[in-house]
Amino acid sequence: GIQVEQSPPDLILQEGANSTLRCNFSDSVNNLQWFHQNPWGQLINLFYIPSGTKQNGRLSATTVATERYSLLYISSSQTTDSGVYFCAGDPYNTDKLIFGTGTRLQVFP
Amino acid sequence: NAGVTQTPKFQVLKTGQSMTLQCAQDMNHNSMYWYRQDPGMGLRLIYYSASEGTTDKGEVPNGYNVSRLNKREFSLRLESAAPSQTSVYFCASSDNRHNQPQHFGDGTRLSIL
């Protein structure tokens, strides 16, 4: 089956730093999405981004579908950005998402 | 607007007991999903429902059954719980006008002894 690789697996930042998270897919996917799981376990949909670039405040995401990867940029990180970031894609265009194993981000004051 | 609501939030079962996890959404979404998340891993799809009356298996359906009771509600049943089913279970929904984001409930933490 399709493999979803996220890097880095862990990231520690000081408040104010910028970071880039990467998601690679072993095959083409549709419906690529980024999620944030906060320390309380809640999953929040950050971006629906099958291709192109989107921005939402300090966060932005870029997907290059032809090269099967997506990037999530976090600028001026805050402690509330801590948690696990997941990417997910739909390899069969059936709305069934395959998730990566996540990047765990810790932001310290 | 509550979004996706899951009950219960926590549950402890003994091996062999049965249990139904409830999920309801108030966003008028057609598609609903059940996932499980094991420690240090991403989410894996258990079952999926594209519309009322239809269900489809995901990656890890063994040991589970689902019911799409109506457009709002999608339940997950463990008929005979096993320790391997200890996990956090998430329900999600999306508008299936093709390619729409999924919205998640807060999860049910289930432990099976």
Per-residue pLDDT of B3-19, as tens digits, reads: 999 999 999 999 999 99
Please say whether the beta carbons of B4 and B93 come within 8 A.
Answer: yes
Q: What angle do CA B63, A36, B28 make, to 5 degrees?
A: 65
Chain B residues within 8 A of A42 when measuring between CB atoms: 104, 106-107
Least Cα separation, residue A101 to chain B (angstroms): 4
pLDDT, position A42: 92
Q: Count of CB atoms within 10 A of residue A40's CB?
A: 8
Within chain A, how many helices (H) and strands (E) appear? 0, 11
Least Cα separation, residue A50 to chain B (angstroms): 9
Are A99 and B44 inside 8 Å of each other by CB?
yes
pLDDT, position B42: 85
For residue range A28-71, what is the model confidence (pLDDT) as tens digits? 888 899 999 999 999 999 999 999 999 999 999 999 999 999 99
Two tokens at A13? 């930042």
Please say whether the beta carbons of B6 and B69 come within 8 A.
Answer: no
- A12–chain B Cβ distance below 8 A for any pair: no
Are A41 and B107 inside 8 Å of each other by CB?
yes
- B102–chain A Cβ distance below 8 A for any pair: yes
> What does each C-alpha distance from A73 to A19, A63, B9, B26, B90 come to in angstroms?
6, 11, 32, 32, 26
Q: Count of CB atoms within 10 A of residue B101's CB?
A: 16
Mean pLDDT of B26-47: 92
pLDDT, position B1: 60
The upper half-sphere exposure of residue A54, i.e. CA atoms within 13 Å in the direction of its Cβ, equals 12
Are B99 and A33 inside 8 Å of each other by CB?
no
Are A48 and B103 inside 8 Å of each other by CB?
no
Please say whether the beta carbons of A78 and A57 come within 8 A.
Answer: no
- A56–chain B Cβ distance below 8 A for any pair: no
The torsion angles phi and psi of B58, rounded to 5 degrees, stand at -105, -145
For residue range B73-113, what is the model confidence (pLDDT) as tens digits? 999 999 999 999 999 999 999 987 666 788 999 999 999 99
pLDDT band at A2 (very low <50, low <70, confident <90, very high): confident
- Spatial separation of the C-alpha atoms in residues B62 and B77, rounded to whole Å: 11
